[in-house]
């Protein structure tokens, strides 16, 4: 029976950390049981390179040196692979515990849970953080949903500064369009995830809603061509689409009993003039970029009166939906 990969990596790490001199691949092959089972030299070389990369990805510092006999040697010196003592107070431990719970619905849950287990083993006082009740149940249970398939690949691409491409369907479009983006940051706003980044074709900063990304995320070669800003405020950009913080206003006619989110934002509400059946109200609401996108969601319950460009945008979007 083949030895599990985790055991193989552990044995390789122990060999590299417990040797007084660099070991060649030949010596490592004879020392690690899983490697001795491989008869093909090429298969062993491929497995060893993958295992070495995996250990480095996990944080093990592996040095490559030239041995006296001309072979390449490998060693993981203990002084370079020793972490400083972990010292967190109760408030810092509580913050880490709270952050870990946020990701319970994403694939980050396993990594977050594993990190907490290691910190508990090191004596970090999570139980004294004040976030658990006397019965042992958490008093605060934050959740950030991350159900969009694009979330994880975009998160990793933003972390690694790796350009990506994907198909994106705008709210007023019938079909998705290809986008080539340098991803900067992901942020959740009102239950939806958004990506901020540099759109290469448009040579401009753009924000994309993940639920409108279709198909898979494709990695692109090369480096970023645009400078990544020190601070990316995704929420402020998305909020401006919904008219939040806008200085202009728009006048709309809204069917009674409908559009309560619009009524909550209204600067002024009055019965619609000339409406003898009393079916409509007239509202003045904040007007910002993207308001047309929001108004379309209310369908026939909203009629835009002014400004003219907002009315035209809403009509164009409704026609696009009808064609689809």
Q: Are strands 72-75 and 164-168 parallel, antiparallel or unpaired?
A: unpaired
Please give the model's pTM, rounded to 2 decimal places: 0.45
Residue 280 reports pLDDT greater than 90: yes
Cα-based torsion angle of the residue sequence 200, 206, 207, 209 in order, rounded to the nearest 10 degrees:
-50
Select from 96, 146, 104, 100 the least CA-distant residue to 124: 96
- Phi/psi at 229 (nearest 5 deg)? -65, 155
Long-range own/partner contacts, residues 223-231 (CB < 8 A, 24 or more apart) = 223/161, 224/161, 224/163, 224/182, 224/198, 225/182, 225/198, 225/200, 226/182, 226/198, 228/161, 228/182, 228/184, 229/184
Predicted local confidence at residue 286, as pLDDT: 85
CATH topology of domain 5-80: Arc Repressor Mutant, subunit A (1.10.10)
The CATH architecture one would assign to domain 151-234 is Roll (2.30)
Position with higher pLDDT, 133 vs 228: 228
Percent of the chain past pLDDT 90, that is, above it, reads: 24
Predicted local confidence at residue 136, as pLDDT: 45
Beta strands in 98-220 (DSSP E): 164-168, 177-189, 192-199, 204-209, 213-219
Per residue in 77-128, pLDDT (tens digit) is: 888 877 666 677 777 777 776 666 655 555 555 666 666 666 666 566 555 4
- Phi/psi at 199 (nearest 5 deg)? -85, 115
- In order of 148, 187, 206, 224, 227, the CA distances from 197 in angstroms are 18, 12, 6, 10, 10
- Classified as helix, coil or strand, 183 is strand
What average pLDDT does range 292-319 have in this prediction? 87
Q: What is the mean pLDDT of the chain?
A: 80
Residue 214 reports pLDDT greater than 60: yes
Least confident of 9-23, 89-103, 172-186, 296-310: 89-103
> How far is the C-alpha of 313 from the C-alpha of 290, rounded, in Å?
10
Q: What is the CATH number of domain 248-323?
A: 3.30.70
Q: Binning pLDDT at 50, 70 and 90, where does residue 160 land?
A: confident
> How far is the C-alpha of 143 from the C-alpha of 7, rounded, in Å?
34
What DSSP character marks residue 13?
H
Position with higher pLDDT, 96 vs 19: 19
Predicted local confidence at residue 135, as pLDDT: 44
Q: Which of 122-136, 240-254, 300-314 has the highest mean pLDDT?
A: 300-314
Q: Where are the domains of the chain?
A: 5-80, 86-144, 151-234, 248-323
């Amino acid at each position: 029976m083949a030895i599990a990969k985790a055991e193989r990596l552990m044995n390789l790490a122990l060999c590299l950390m417990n040797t007084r001199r660099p070991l060649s691949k030949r010596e490592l092959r004879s020392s690690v049981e899983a490697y001795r089972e491989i008869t093909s030299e090429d298969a062993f070389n491929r497995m060893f390179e993958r295992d070495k990369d995996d250990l480095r990805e996990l944080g093990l510092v592996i040095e490559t040196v030239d041995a006296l006999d001309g072979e390449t040697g490998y060693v993981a010196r203990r002084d370079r692979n020793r972490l400083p003592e972990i010292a967190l107070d109760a408030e810092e431990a509580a913050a880490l515990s709270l952050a870990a719970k946020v990701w319970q619905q994403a694939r980050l849950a396993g990594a977050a849970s594993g990190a907490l287990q290691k910190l508990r083993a090191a004596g970090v006082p999570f139980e004294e953080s004040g976030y658990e009740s006397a019965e042992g149940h958490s008093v605060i249970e934050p959740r950030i949903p991350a159900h969009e398939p694009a979330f994880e690949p975009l998160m990793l691409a933003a972390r690694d500064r790796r350009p990506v491409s994907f198909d994106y369907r705008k709210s007023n479009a019938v079909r998705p369009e290809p986008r080539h983006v340098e991803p900067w940051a992901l942020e959740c706003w009102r239950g939806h995830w958004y990506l901020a980044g540099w759109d290469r074709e448009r040579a401009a900063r753009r924000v994309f809603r993940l639920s409108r990304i279709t198909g898979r995320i494709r990695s692109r070669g090369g480096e970023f061509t645009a400078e990544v800003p020190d601070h990316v405020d995704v929420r402020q950009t998305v909020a401006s689409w919904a008219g939040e913080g806008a200085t202009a206003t728009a006048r709309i006619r809204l069917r009674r009993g409908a559009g309560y989110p619009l009524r909550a934002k209204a600067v002024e509400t009055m019965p619609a003039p000339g409406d003898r059946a009393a079916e409509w109200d007239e509202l003045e609401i904040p007007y910002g970029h993207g308001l047309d996108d929001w108004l379309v969601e209310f369908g026939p319950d909203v009629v835009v009166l002014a400004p003219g460009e907002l009315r035209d945008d809403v009509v164009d979007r409704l026609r696009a939906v009808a064609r689809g």
